[in-house]
Structures are given as C-alpha cells and as structure tokens.
Amino acid sequence: MKRGTDCIQLKARGFTLIEVMLAMAVLAIIGMASASVFQQMTQAESRSSERHALLAELQFALLIIDRDVRQLVARNRRAEGQQESFYISNDSRLLESDSGGLAFVRAGWVNPQQALPRSELQPVVYRVRDQVLQRLSLPFVDSVSGQPQVQALLTGVENFEVQFTTPGTGTQVSRWQQAEQLPEQVRIRIEHAQLGVIERVLLTSGAQPLELVNE
C-alpha cells in the first residue's frame, strides 16, 4: 500500500524550478529564432519590392526614351536662343546636365483635328539633375519663351552617356556633328546606383527629310 502512495505523490509533484527555467529558456530561444527569421523574411520582401519598383521605373524610362527616339525627325531646334546646326545633340553643357544628355525634335505628338495651337512636333531633352534622369519638353520647336515641362523618369542615375551610330558605315561616335543627317542608332548607357550598368541600342526613324515629315 505504501508503494502505491509513493507513486501517486511522484506523479503529483509536477516540474521542478530547473525544469521550468529550462523550458522557458528553450521557448525564448525558439521565439528569438522565429523573430529573426521573420525579420529576415520581411527585409527580403522589402528589398524585393524595392527592386521591382526600380525595375518598373527603369522599364518605363527606357520605354519613353525609345518611343521618342523612334519618332526623331530631321528638324533643327533652338538652344540658348540660337538655331542648332545639328538635328540631335548630347552636349551636356548646352543641356545643363550633371552627366550627359540628349536633345532632339520628335514627331507624333498627337493634336486631334489640330484643336491645339501647335504642331505635332515636340522638342525634348533628356538630362540628369541630382541623380534623377529628367525628360524636358516644350510646346513649340522655335519658341524660346516659356518653361519646359519636366518629368522625372529614373532616380539613382550616377552617369548617363549617349553615343551615335553613323548610317551605312556603322561607326560609333560620341558627338553627332553631321548636319542634314540623322544617326542610324542612338546608344545609351546608364550607370545606376542599385541596378548597375544598363545599355540599350535604340533605332531612329532614319535620315528623313523635313519636307516628308507631317507637321
């Protein structure tokens, strides 16, 4: 009878203080590990979201540049009040850019039924200011008055370079100095703080005479 009573007392004794503390320590370690894993997953998700946002921003910027370059026309533009002798320029000094740039006149600026007092030609400028790639546009090709519309396309741009490909020969040049002619290709190189180096080759509309361009 005594032996049975001893068994009941052992079962009713419960956990010792050491056992309780050990269990709490194990639970604390598991909790800390779970919190660390959750934090790492959250940080990874945040970095992934930021990268996706950057890639979307980059794709949009490249889409806009490609659209404009494809509609490049043989039309002189004004720079600092003077008529340019070349149809396209990447002189950062004239464009007030921190790093490279690109300026030309594009067609295809829709004006339904000529409802607005402008043509379908639009001067555009790409430049870098404070690591932001900007697109500037003006409503008139020959007017030097008025403020340009500024559109921020891509942040984190450390360098923006433009080169041109000569029609026929395929020669690449860093400055376009051929009057009355358009380059066959426009090559852009972007150095981005997070995405690294991005290079694209953009096709132009070709050496299209001004009189064939629908204004």
Check residue 67 and give its pLDDT: 93
**C-alpha distance from residue 74 to each of 4, 7, 46, 111, 152 (Å):** 107, 102, 46, 20, 26
Check residue 56 and give its pLDDT: 93
CB distance 78 to 94 below 8 Å: no
Cα distance between residue 154 and residue 149, in whole Å: 16
Q: Whose CA is closest to 124, among 145, 146, 100, 107?
A: 107
Question: In three state form, how does the secondary structure of 155-177 look?
Answer: ECEEEEEEEEECCCCCCEECCCC
Check residue 70 and give its pLDDT: 93
| Exposure on the CB side of residue 52, measured as CA atoms within 13 A | 6
- State both tokens at 58: 């980059």
What residues does 126 pair with on adjacent strands?
102, 135
- State both tokens at 152: 């921020």
Q: What is the pLDDT of residues 81-136, one digit of tens each?
A: 555 556 888 888 878 899 999 999 888 676 665 655 556 788 899 999 999 999 99
Domain residue extents for the chain: 58-212
Main-chain phi, psi angles of 48, to 5 degrees: -65, -40
Regions in the chain scoring below 50 on pLDDT: 10, 207-215
Topology given in CATH for the domain delimited by 58-212: Pili subunits (3.10.610)
Check residue 207 and give its pLDDT: 47
Check residue 41 and give its pLDDT: 78
Helix (H, G, I), strand (E, B) or coil at 53: helix
Check residue 211 and give its pLDDT: 42
Check residue 65 and give its pLDDT: 96
Q: Whose CA is closest to 172, among 183, 182, 180?
A: 183
Chain Cα centroid distance, residue 6: 78
